[in-house]
Structure formats: C-alpha cells, structure tokens
Structure 1
Amino acid sequence: MTETVVSRANTRMEQSHPSSFWHTFCDMNAVSQKPKFVVSRAEGVWLWDEHGDRYLDGTASLWYCHVGHGRSEIADAVHQQLTTLDAYAVYGDFANTPALRLSERLASHAPMDNPRTILTCGGGEAIETAAKLARKYWSVSGKPEKTHVISRAGGYHGLHGFGTSIIGMERFRSGYGEIVADTSVVPYDSVRALEDEILRVGPERTAAFFAEPVIGSGGVYAPPEGYFAAVAELCRRYGVLFVVDSVICGFGRLGDWFGIERFGVRPDMIVFAKGVSSGYLPLGGVITSGEVAEPFWERSGNPFIHGTTYAGHPSCSAAALANLDILEREDLFGAAEEVESQLDAAVRMLAEHPLVREVRSGTGAMAAVELTGEALYERGVTTADVFAEARSRGVIVRAIPRSLLVSPPLTVTWEHIDHLVSTLRAALDAVEERHPR
C-alpha cells in the first residue's frame, strides 16, 4: 500500500467510536467492534472523513446526489422556505405552494396522459403507495380480486412491507416470513416468463407489474432490446397496471426525467425519489396516469385513505425544486449522456482483470464490475475486500455480493472517472495479490 493508504489504515485502527447508533444493511456485531467511517463534509464529487482525508464519491452517496454535494442554491432555498413555512401536513384539502409547484412540474414531464402526482418521503414509501393504489384502483373499479403483484429477479423496490415482498433478491426477504401475500418474481429479462406468470396467477387476479428501467442495486442489468415495449403491450392486453420504479433511474441517471422514456413506453404509474432532490432532503412520490386517477378524481365516494405525516413537506419540496432548477440550467440530462459514454469506456478496461467476470455498463451513468466465481468461491475473495481497498485509496464504490457498483454524481468529469477506475484497478490488484491461485 502507498504511504497515504497505510496512514489512513493506521488512523482507523487507532480510533474507536462507541455509539448507540444502530447502522442498517450490516452485521452490527462486526460493525460495533471496529472504528466507524464518519463522513464530516462534502463538496462536489468529494467527501472528507473526520480525519480530513478526501474520497471520491463514486456512488453519489446511495445513487442520489446527481447535482453534487454542497450546492448553496439548494441550501438557500431550504433556508428561505423554513423561515416562511417550515412544515405543515397536506391531509384533506391542505396544501402548500412548494408541494403544488413540484407536483405540477413533475407531472409536466411524465410520459403519460393527464398525470397526477402523489408526494411521499422517499422511494420505499412511494412503492408502498403505488402498490396499495394499484390494488385500490382495481377494487373501486369493481375487480377487488385483482391483488397479485409481480416483480423481477434482481429488482430492488425498497424494504417497507410491499417492497420487501416484491424485491427480487431473496437475501432481503429471508427471515421475515410472509409480509404481503399475493406477490411473485419472474426473471428480469423474459417477457415470456412474465406472460406465463400472469396466466398462472390469472389475469383476473393480477393487479400490477413493477420494474426498474435498469435494475440498479441488484447489479446494473439493462433490459434486452424491445423488452419494455413488449411488456407494456402485454400488460395492456391482460389488464395489468405497468408500474415503473424510477427511484434510481430518474432525473438524469439514464439521461431523461424518469429513465423509462429511453425505451419509448408509457406506464400507468411511475415511482420516483433520490435524484428528485439529490438527497438534500428526503422526498419521493408516485405519478399516475389520468386513467388510474379517474375513479378517485372523477367519482365521489372513493377516497384513497393513505398518506404519511411528512408527505408534501414544503421544505423538502423547496429543495427538490431548486435541485430540478440545477438539473435543467446546467443541462445535467445532457451531461449524463457524456458521463455514460466516458464511464462505459473507462470501466470496460477492467473486464480483462483476472478477478473480473463481467462489466455491465453503457445504459445510463452507472456500471457494475462482477467478480469471477473462481475468485469468490475458490480463492476466498469478497467484494467487501475490493471495496475496502478502494476506500483506503480514496475512492468509494458500492459492494454487493458478486459485484462492485458505480453511480457517480452527474457533475463528474473525465478526470474523476479515470481516477475512479484506476483506483478500482489498484484495489483489484491488491486483493488478487493477497488471494493467489
């Protein structure tokens, strides 16, 4: 390791932070016994830890910081809103100006007819909203037996009740029992498998199909050519609501507002979060077509009894509006296309590394580097090993069981991408050296 890497490693060993804070997505027995990685500040594409060491944020935190860290425009908008109207619930006929403006702005870009916007506090909550709304839509339309929800293998839809039940990765469902009944998962790339499952369940019982434009947290899997056009037609034919989960893929990550535009289809609902506010404050939501909204908006006696305390939060909405201003003013939608091309060219050079089985990139500003089975199951390599080596060298990527994921802010430059990929290569080299054949 370089001198800098040794210094960082030694510093981590010397420091400890006893805490009652319960980290998520981890084994707390292991995490509680080692020093914490405390992020103290951030600016642009860079993070600094509490010791002053700098790191390239190769994952835009958790897929969401599209405009980069430390944007004063967003902070100023939030401050102004907090000093005007900090917060107030939007139940019943209550509303606030930022929530109204944000809803209209998002609806104006949605690829559907006469769209309506429901605001939530994040992506997982938005999935709950969309799934409940799908069931309720069929119920008030005289088909209450249509409750079954289908999703795809590898798909990630948050970890609330519905999200845990439709997630396409068994490790996130194991140990919780059955949370929501009437759900099933099909292969991510097969229209035929989806049709077979609809017919097995019965179109008269199938409420909705949920899919990400590109599977994100499950490993960055783009759809086969023509997949979504065929899916949209299939859902229309069998009377199944087509729900697009754009939480990761929206707001420039795939170069468009919601990501699904890239594939030329018009869904019944779109779930969004993350990039809508670049994570500056928590916000998400669901955009529905006018057809889905019709029985609730045009007929009396069909209330959608659902919502949360902080949904439509004026300060969160103000943050999102300022973030969207930046995305449009700086044309980060166009920049995302350049990032996609540059990242694809750079990360594909890792495909020849002895530890690497496959590189998946080229559809959006995102990539996955999958390790070989031989490395993982015979040589004892873990993606956590590579993640740790990369972080010790000043680059943060994300480790899942078989792959390292990259999803930088859309403000990233070629120099940043080159640094990220060269550092990841050095991390792979270091791990390979420790795990010889």
Structure 2
Amino acid sequence: MTAAPASNTYPLWHPFADMHAVKQQQLSIVRGDDVWVWDSDGNRYFDGTASLWYSNVGHGRSEIVQAITKQLKELEAYHCFGDFVNEPALRLAGQLAERAPIRGGKVFFTSGGGDSIESAAKIIRAYFDAVGQPERTVLIHRQHSYHGTHGFGTALAGMPANRFGGPYIRDVVEVPAFDAAALEETILEVGADRTAAFFCEPVIGSGGVLAPPPNYIAEAHAVCRRHGVIFVADGVICAFGRLGTWFGIERFGVEPDIITFAKGVTSGYQPLGGLIVSPRIAAPFWDEPGRVLRHGQTYAGHPAACAAGIANLDIYEREGLLERSMKMEGVLAEALQTVVDHPLVDHARAGTGFLGALELDAELLAGTPGLPAMIAHAVRRHGALIRPMISALGFSPPLTATEQQLDFVVEGVRAGLDEVNAALH
C-alpha cells in the first residue's frame, strides 16, 4: 500500500471511491504479467477480476504493445468523422462484423462501454424518429442492471445506489430481472407504440453476476419481436470470451438488434468500445441521402486503439481462448463451491461463463454493510484481488488463468474470510 505524504494534497479523485479513506492510503499497481500484478511495494497479486472485467488475454502481451507502438509511429491518431477513415478502424470493424451474430451488422466505434450505451440509446430514438414513429422513446432495463454511468447509463441503472443525481433521462422503465411475462406486461402497459428498446446484459455483471434462468433470454427476445421493440444485448462485460463466445449473446441462441461492446475488445490495452447495429436499424442512416446521425466521440475509431483490438483478436484466435473460457467456467464454479460452507458465505453463483460470485450471509450484511469490502481487503493481504459488490464478492479472472491459479485464489479467499470472521466475533 502506498501512503500519500499528506491527505489534503492528494490530487487524484478515484471513480467509485470513498475518497475520505482513499486519500490516506492507496494500492498503486505498477506492473503486470499474465494473471499477476505487482504493487509499488513489490507485493504480487493474482488479478481475480481481470482489472475491471477486461484483461481477458492477461497483462504484458508484447504483441499488443508492439502493434500499438507500430501504429503510433505511422499515425498516432486521426478522427473518423464525416468521410475520414483510417486503416486499423476499417479493418477491425470488418473483423468484428464477421464474428457478430448480427448478419450484415454495422460497427459504430466509441471510446468505452458507457459511450456505447449512450450511442445505442440515441441511435434507437433517432431510428424511430426516422421511420415516422417519434413517439417510441421509452427504454426498458432490468433490476440489478449496470449500463455505465453516463446520462442514459445512469437512467438505465438497476442498482439504486448508482441512480443518484438522476433521473437524467425521461421515459425509462425498470422490469424484474428474469421475468419475460413482466416485460411483456410492461410493454403493454406503457404501450408498444411508445416502447423503443429493451436493454439486456446476457449475464448481469456488476449487479451481482446473475446468470439468466433457462429460456429467459429467448423468451424476452420473443416478446420484443412481437411488439417491434429493439433488443439491445449489452456485451460490455459478457463479450470477447467472458461467456465463451465472441459477444456473449450467441450462447442464448438469439439475434439481437444491437450489441454494445468494450472492455475485452482490446483487453484494456487501449480504451475502445462500440456497437454492432443491425442493417434494419442502420438503414435510414445508410440508405437515405442527407440523413446524418449527429453523434460520436472524438476518439471513436482511434487508430492505435483499433490496432490493439486487431492484435487482441489474433490472440483469442491463436490461443483458443473462447473455448478455454467455456472449459474453465466449470472449474471456477467448482472452486467457488469449496468455500460455501464458510459462515460468512450464503451461496456461490457460477457456471455460465468464466465469472462468478460468492453471495454473503444476509444477516451479517444487514449488520455490517461494508462486509464485501472488508473481505476483499483481507483477501488482498493473502495475494489475490477480488471485487467487492453490494452483497457479494465477484470473480472474473483473465481467460488465461489455470486450475492451479484458481486454487490459489480460493485459498486466499478462505483465509480472508477467516480473518474477517475472527474480527467480527
């Protein structure tokens, strides 16, 4: 841990942080190699969360660094507004479109996941306006959902703590997380002629690592089809191998209208996000002369970021990381089950994708709301980084992690749980 020389001079405001505590002491990560990272004091940690769900191919990949460096030397940056383009953006867009479960999809690049949600919402409303249905503005999201922290993302938050300062955006409705019948009832209540889109994480990530029950995704997709509602698959966490497929949603056998992505597209080596948009939704902007979507981010299609994405996709292919993720999801599920007997743990959630969570005891949480953070800090002292959630501990290792490394994490988790349990009692 790195202590600041004086708390009142610490300059950096961290996202999602209690700065009153953070300004006193920080964990400074200075180096990474595959599944491991080191702090400024030389301590090594297993990166049990792939940083923020994104270091899918692991840290320190020289081929991605070399691709970025080569591109920076040739053309460090140039925009893609209007008729401008660069070769890496065009090439990566083609590779993503080829892999996407949306046939003939168009790729709209952004700078990250929150930008992608913002772009999707604006494109959806612009689409309905273009086809003569401007009254279709209502956006539906699910309980426990997380869709970033921009204006639309905050409005679409199914985690109440993340909705502060809102509502930001009007015409946003929440439905139960796993009830397709309730989704249809809501559409009928709001009016199908007013409902624009349904935002759906294939597996809810930051909201607790909540996998859908059998057939839910297909049933919700069918509801949207019946009522002409655009189905948005939020793949920011779930895509690029986290669920064992390119975009996550393929696992559930449906073809969405829009896919949002970020994180694993470059494994975090450069900031990049985007959308895959179906030909139907793109048509008014591609087929009608003079119709301009007046939206986009300065660094959308950034050539160095796209070069990182191309090199990153090569690693997925060459090392079979999607297939590896599908195999390792069962290993992670079994590993987490070995600690469900602990008095601080209620149950484990895992088995759909290479991610999981340990839900903590509800009674203990009620008395100690900060329990997840306490345990995560204790586990850190035993050499592993895991993610504290509202009521759970989250896991999403790099896709390169081995069975032995997962055993190491579980040992650290149990030791951390024991340490906190002893302190509580």
TM-score where L is the length of structure 2 = 0.98
CA distance in 2, matches of 1:22, 1:40: 19
Could you say which residue in structure 1 is the equivalent of 2:144?
154
Measure the CA separation in 2 of the matches of 1:150 and 1:13.
44
Counterpart amino acid of residue 328 in structure 2: V
In structure 2, do the counterparts of structure 1 residues 371 and 420 end up closer, same or farther at CA, with 3 Å as the change threshold?
Answer: same
Q: Deviations over 1:356-396 (max 9, x none)?
A: 11210000000010111121124676111101100111100
Which amino acid in the other structure matches residue 131 of structure 2? S
| Cα displacement string for residues 165-186 of structure 1 (whole angstroms, at most 9, x for unaligned residues) | 0011110012x13201000111
Alignment of 1:75-224 (within 5 A): 75-174=65-164, 176-224=165-213
The gaps in structure 1 that reach 5 residues or longer are: 1-10
* Pair 1:12–1:20, CA change in 2 (3 A): closer
Segments of structure 2 that go 5 or more residues without pairing to the other structure are: none
The one of 314, 333, 344 aligned to 2:322: 333
Shift of 1:13: 6.9
Superposition deviation, residue 243 in structure 1: 0.3
Deviations 1:229-277 (A, max 9, x none): 1111111110100000000000000000000000000000000000000
Report the CA distance between 1:113 and its aligned residue: 2.2
- The separation in 2 between residues aligned to 1:187 and 1:291, in whole angstroms, is 28
Specify the alignment match of 1:232 in structure 2. Answer: 221
C-alpha deviation, 1:194, in angstroms:
0.7
Q: Deviations over 1:126-177 (max 9, x none)?
A: 0000010011110000000000000011111000010000011110012x13
**Counterparts of 1:36-55 in structure 2 under 5 Å?**
36-55=26-45
Look up the equivalent residue of 1:348 and give its one-letter code: Q
Answer yes or no: is the 8 Å Cα contact 2:102–2:257 preserved in 1. Answer: yes
| Residue matched to 1:65 | 55
Secondary structure of the residue that 1:91 maps to in structure 2? coil
Q: Secondary structure at the match of 1:416?
A: helix
Q: Distance in 1 between matches of 2:314 and 2:265?
A: 11
> Aligned partner of 2:72: which letter?
L
Q: What is residue 26 of structure 1 aligned with on the other side?
A: 17
1:356 counterpart residue number: 345
Of the three residues 274, 292, 296, the one matched with 1:303 is 292
Q: Equivalent residue for 1:423?
A: 412
Q: Which residue does 2:371 correspond to in 1?
A: 382
Instruction: Determine the C-alpha separation between the residues in 2 that align with 1:15 and 1:376.
Output: 34
User: Counterpart of 1:113 in 2: which secondary structure?
Assistant: coil
What is the root-mean-square deviation in Å for CA atoms of aligned residues?
1.3
1:213-243 deviations in Å (ceiling 9; x for gaps)? 1000000111111011111111111010000
Name the CA distance, whole Å, in 1 between partners of 2:3 and 2:281.
Answer: 55
* Cα gap change, 1:59 to 1:52, in 2 (>3 Å): same
CA distance in structure 2 between the partners assigned to 1:339 and 1:167 by the alignment: 30
The size of the alignment, in residue pairs, is 424
C-alpha deviations, 1:269-304, integer Å up to 9, x for none? 000000000000000000011111111111123211
Does structure 2 conserve the Cα–Cα contact (< 8 Å) formed by 1:15 and 1:35?
Answer: no
| Percent identity over paired residues | 49
The letter of the residue matching 2:20 is N
Equivalent-residue separation in structure 2 for 1:290 and 1:315 (angstroms): 27
Determine if the alignment matches structure 1 residue 404 to structure 2 residue 404.
no
After superposition, the Cα gap between the structure-2 partners of 1:112 and 1:30, relative to the gap in structure 1 and judged at 3 Å, is: same
Distance in 2, matches of 1:162 and 1:244, equals 15
The separation in 1 between residues aligned to 2:319 and 2:338, in whole angstroms, is 30
Map Cα deviations across residues 290-322 of structure 1 (whole Å, 9 max, x no partner). 111111111123211101111000000000100
Moved more, 210-219 or 111-120: 111-120
- SS where residue 287 of structure 1 aligns? strand
Taking a change above 3 Å as real, the CA distance of residues 381 and 21 of structure 1, as seen in their structure-2 partners, is: closer
Would the aligned equivalents of 1:120 and 1:285 in 2 still touch at CA under 8 Å? yes
Contact 2:114–2:149 (8 Å) recurs in 1: yes
CA contact (8 A) 1:16 1:35 kept: no
Name the counterpart of 1:391.
Answer: 380
1:366 alignment partner, SS class? strand
1:16 positional shift = 6.7
Distance in 1 between the 2:364 and 2:3 partners? 27
Q: Is the 8 A contact 2:154 2:166 kept in 1?
A: no
TM-score by length of 1: 0.95
CA deviation vs aligned residue, 1:323-354 (integer Å, no higher than 9, x gap): 00001100000110122111011011111111
CA contact (8 A) 1:382 1:401 kept: no
Report the equivalent of 1:7.
Answer: none
Change (3 A) 1:381 1:320: closer
Structure 1 segments, 4+ long, off by >3 Å, are: 11-18, 378-381
- CA distance in 2 between counterparts of 1:229 and 1:364 reads 18
Residues 256-275 of structure 1: matches in 2 within 5 Å?
A: 256-275=245-264
Which letter maps to 2:26?
A: K
AA of the residue aligned to 1:211: C
CA distance in 1, matches of 2:96, 2:130: 26
1:4 alignment counterpart: none
